[in-house]
């Protein structure tokens, strides 16, 4: 047990170093691809966290979009461009909303949880689409970011954002890994397996799910802020249900056993999406669908479960 835990942290650290080196040598578009994967990876982590407790959220886009919009609006309306302030604002907004909504959502399981989360994200979508001051369906551009007074331009700006994204994602992944290997983390698993037993053991399922929901929302919010900064543009599609569906897809494909699992899945999806426009514009969703069916049928634990037995033996 202990060895595998140490492995994850080590892998994450090596991964961070590799990604940073990669960022300095890779071409522009490849670096951007990795950066976007890292940002959305955080949202997938949020979905995965809920999945571990047996809850499928078809509306994680709510917090992804909220984080992105709060960051964008802070820059657009109030001229706040400091990345750390934006991160703080985006996360705080998601925390606040999720704490409130959590009181409603903890009463739901299964498809009702999926439905309710979907409805909530669609409410945000519906609001944003009609909000002319925020550019309606087109969204708006996010001003260039600054870093504690440091205001780089051009290539330096891109590299700085890349480094920042990698480091933040690394930190979140490490913290989340610690959480998952804590008592609370394991209790999520227990809820999925048998809720009643958890209650009889003296833990409150509702407060646990509430916690999971809030943590997932905060992480997704950070992902949203990073996306807004990276892309430099936000639009309501971030909250649309198909966006949330993609997060569910990646979480399911990768498996929920380890925080590292979804990063590979996210990167593969981004890569597939990039190439799909060129080589398979009309079949790439079909490829996703077939892959998902195969995973559900033959690999319930996701791609991560391949070789999992061998790893535990080591």
Partner 1 sequence: MTKLLAILIDGSIYAAWVFLMGLGMTLIYGVMKILNIAHGSLYALGAYMSVSLIGFYYATGSFPPMLGYAMLPLAAIAVGLIAGLLIERGVLRFMYGRDEVVMLLVTYSIFLILEDAAKLIWGVDPYFAYQPYGLLGTVEILDLIYPVYDFLLIAISLCCAVFVWWGLNKTRVGKLLIAVIHDREMSMAFGINVKLFFTVTFVIGAAFGALGGAVTAPKVSVVPGLGVEVIVLAFAVVVIGGLGSIEGAMIGSAIVGIVRAAAVHILPEVELFVIYGVMALVLAFKPHGLFAGPEVRKI
Question: 143: which DSSP letter?
Answer: P
Nearer to partner 1, 279 or 282 (CB): 282
Nearer to partner 1, 171 or 286 (CB): 286
3-class SS shares of the chain: helix, strand, coil, % to 5: 80, 5, 20
CA separation for the pair 168, 269 (Å, rounded): 21
In the complex, what is the shortest distance from the CB of residue 61 to partner 1, in angstroms, rounded to a whole number?
Answer: 12
CA separation for the pair 163, 143 (Å, rounded): 19
In the complex, what is the shortest distance from the CB of residue 59 to partner 1, in angstroms, rounded to a whole number?
Answer: 10
In the complex, what is the shortest distance from the CB of residue 245 to partner 1, in angstroms, rounded to a whole number?
Answer: 6
Nearer to partner 1, 121 or 166 (CB): 121
Q: Tokens for 250?
A: 């990646």
In the complex, what is the shortest distance from the CB of residue 109 to partner 1, in angstroms, rounded to a whole number?
Answer: 9
Question: 131: which DSSP letter?
Answer: -
Sign of dihedral through CA atoms 195, 196, 201, 202?
positive
Alpha helices in 239-283 (DSSP H): 241-254, 261-279
In the complex, what is the shortest distance from the CB of residue 270 to partner 1, in angstroms, rounded to a whole number?
Answer: 17
Three-state SS letters, 102-123: HHHHCCCCHHHHHHHHHHHHHH
In the complex, what is the shortest distance from the CB of residue 186 to partner 1, in angstroms, rounded to a whole number?
Answer: 21
In the complex, what is the shortest distance from the CB of residue 2 to partner 1, in angstroms, rounded to a whole number?
Answer: 33
Nearer to partner 1, 4 or 194 (CB): 194
Q: Tokens for 198?
A: 């958890």
CA separation for the pair 247, 292 (Å, rounded): 12
Nearer to partner 1, 133 or 148 (CB): 133
In the complex, what is the shortest distance from the CB of residue 118 to partner 1, in angstroms, rounded to a whole number?
Answer: 7
Nearer to partner 1, 207 or 242 (CB): 242
Binding site for partner 1 (CB under 8 A): 54, 56, 58, 104, 107-108, 110-112, 114-116, 118-120, 122-123, 125-127, 129-131, 241-242, 245, 248-249, 252, 282-286, 288-290, 292-293, 296-297
Nearer to partner 1, 115 or 194 (CB): 115
Nearer to partner 1, 14 or 293 (CB): 293
CA angle 119, 259, 229 (to 5 degrees): 65
Strand, coil or helix: what is 233?
strand
Burial of 152 (0-12, 13-18, 19+ CB in 10 A): middle
Which residue's structure tokens are 């942290």? 9
Nearer to partner 1, 162 or 247 (CB): 247
Encode 14-40: b = buried (16+ Cβ within 10 Å), e = exposed: ebbeebeeebeeeeeeebbbbbbbbbb
CA separation for the pair 248, 61 (Å, rounded): 10
In the complex, what is the shortest distance from the CB of residue 114 to partner 1, in angstroms, rounded to a whole number?
Answer: 6
């Amino acid at each position: 047990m202990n060895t595998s835990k140490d492995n994850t942290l080590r892998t994450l650290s090596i991964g961070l170093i590799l990604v940073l080196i990669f960022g300095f040598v890779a071409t522009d578009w490849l670096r951007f691809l990795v950066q976007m994967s890292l940002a959305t990876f955080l949202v997938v982590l949020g979905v995965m966290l809920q999945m571990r407790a047996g809850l499928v959220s078809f509306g994680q886009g709510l917090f992804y979009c909220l984080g992105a919009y709060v960051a964008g609006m802070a820059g657009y309306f109030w001229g706040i461009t400091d990345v750390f302030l934006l991160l703080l604002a985006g996360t705080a907004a998601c925390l606040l909303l999720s704490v409130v909504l959590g009181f409603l959502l903890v009463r739901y399981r299964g498809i009702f949880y999926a439905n309710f989360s979907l409805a909530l994200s669609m409410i945000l979508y519906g609001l944003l689409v009609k909000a002319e001051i925020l550019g309606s369906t087109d969204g708006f551009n996010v001003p260039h970011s600054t870093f504690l007074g440091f205001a780089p331009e051009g290539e330096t700006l891109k590299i700085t954002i890349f480094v920042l994204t990698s480091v933040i994602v690394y930190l979140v992944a490490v913290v989340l890994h610690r959480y998952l290997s804590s008592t609370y983390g394991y209790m999520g698993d227990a809820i999925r397996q048998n809720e009643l037993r958890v209650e009889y053991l003296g833990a409150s399922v509702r407060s646990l799910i509430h916690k999971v929901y809030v943590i997932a929302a905060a992480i997704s919010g950070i992902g949203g802020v990073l996306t807004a900064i990276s892309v430099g543009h936000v639009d309501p599609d971030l909250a649309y249900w198909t966006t949330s569906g993609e997060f569910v897809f990646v979480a399911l494909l990768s498996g929920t056993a380890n925080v590292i699992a979804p990063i590979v899945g996210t990167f593969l999806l981004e890569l597939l999406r990039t190439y799909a426009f060129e080589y398979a514009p009309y079949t790439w969703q079909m490829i996703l669908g077939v892959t998902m069916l195969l995973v559900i049928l033959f690999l319930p634990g996701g791609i991560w479960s391949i070789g999992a037995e061998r790893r535990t033996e080591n």
